[in-house]
Amino acid sequence: MSQSVAADAAEGGTVFAGHAAVAGPRSWQRAFGDLRQGWRQRPLWGYLGWQDIKQRYRRSVLGPLWISISMGVIALAMGVLYAALFKRPVADFLPYLATGLLIWRFIEGCILEGSEVFIANEGLIRFLPAPLSLHVYRLVWRQTLFFLHNLVIWGLLMIIFPQSLGWSLLLAIPAFAVLMINGAWIAIVAGIVATRFRDIPPIIASLTQLLFFMTPIVWSYEILKDNLAERARFVELNPAMHFVEILRQPLLGDAIVWRHWWIAGAITAVGCAAALICLRQYRSRVAYWV
């Protein structure tokens, strides 16, 4: 049995000394404790997340504005091209594609960086005691900041091509919260497995690429249904689709399809359970594996 000291360091006291001493390294108490202790170190990962963003654009004149600009350029180019390909009006298709793309960027970032979250922080893990979840929170926070920068593009598009936004726009907030929770569990599960088996990151990278093409972002589910009829339903098996939909529908003022919420909710519950099991079983092993 042992007790992670980092938490107490953050607390500036010995708050958990008593009951953590009772629990073994593989216990629910320690798994939840890790998440709690990491959460308590908000100032640290909050600051680190900001630094990550600022650092990427250090010495550039426009700085983080480049995140928005590069997103805007890609969305514009793809939007115009695919609108012509699918013979759809640009005023509809461009906001559709841009919104889907910025949601996808968040999902993709959480998956790709999540699988390397502990490997990338090897130095910190081996030299400074800190809860594992600290690195995960930092990652999700950084991706959230990226997302907020990209959201500027959505705002511009809503001004140029007004959509019928209603109160359902408020649903975007819980939808994004669901995405953040999923980003966290994916990072925990993929991060731990990838630290042990180093073949996982390239596998995940190629699967994510595949997932992008399988998700209705540059194409739309409705068109596919017209072309393929019943067989189009296979797309529903793609979990990423439901997560894109729950956030895209309120952002575009489309009718809310509750089926996506149910499926996303179920995936969230299963994923969180998997993350907790991983944390319980292998949390104490990550420092040995990195």
Roughly what angle, to the nearest 10 degrees, separates helices 239-252 and 258-282? 130
> Closest Cα to residue 89, out of 213, 243, 220?
220
Question: What's the closest the beta carbon of residue 109 comes to other proteins, in angstroms?
Answer: 20
Give the integer Cα–Cα distance in Å for 142 and 250.
23
Contact flag: residue 288 with other proteins (CB under 8 A): yes
Question: Which one-letter amino acid corresponds to residue 28?
Answer: W
Interface positions, 87-126, toward other proteins (CB under 8 A): 123-126
> Closest Cα to residue 170, out of 260, 268, 68, 249?
249
**What are the tokens at 177?**
């919260």
Give the integer Cα–Cα distance in Å for 256 and 128.
46
Contact flag: residue 6 with other proteins (CB under 8 A): yes
Q: Which of 2, 60, 70, 209 is the binder for other proteins (CB under 8 A)?
A: 2
Q: Which of 200, 218, 241, 247 is the binder for other proteins (CB under 8 A)?
A: 200
x/- track of binding to other proteins for residues 120-139 (CB under 8 A):
---xxxxxxxx---------
- At residue 218, φ and ψ (nearest 5 deg) are -90, -15
Size of the site for other proteins (CB under 8 A): 42
Question: What's the closest the beta carbon of residue 110 comes to other proteins, in angstroms?
Answer: 22
Residue closer to other proteins (CB basis): 84 or 203: 203
Q: Which chain residues interact with other proteins by CB under 8 A?
A: 1-6, 8-14, 17, 21, 25, 41, 43-44, 47-48, 51, 55, 58, 123-130, 196-200, 203, 284, 287-289
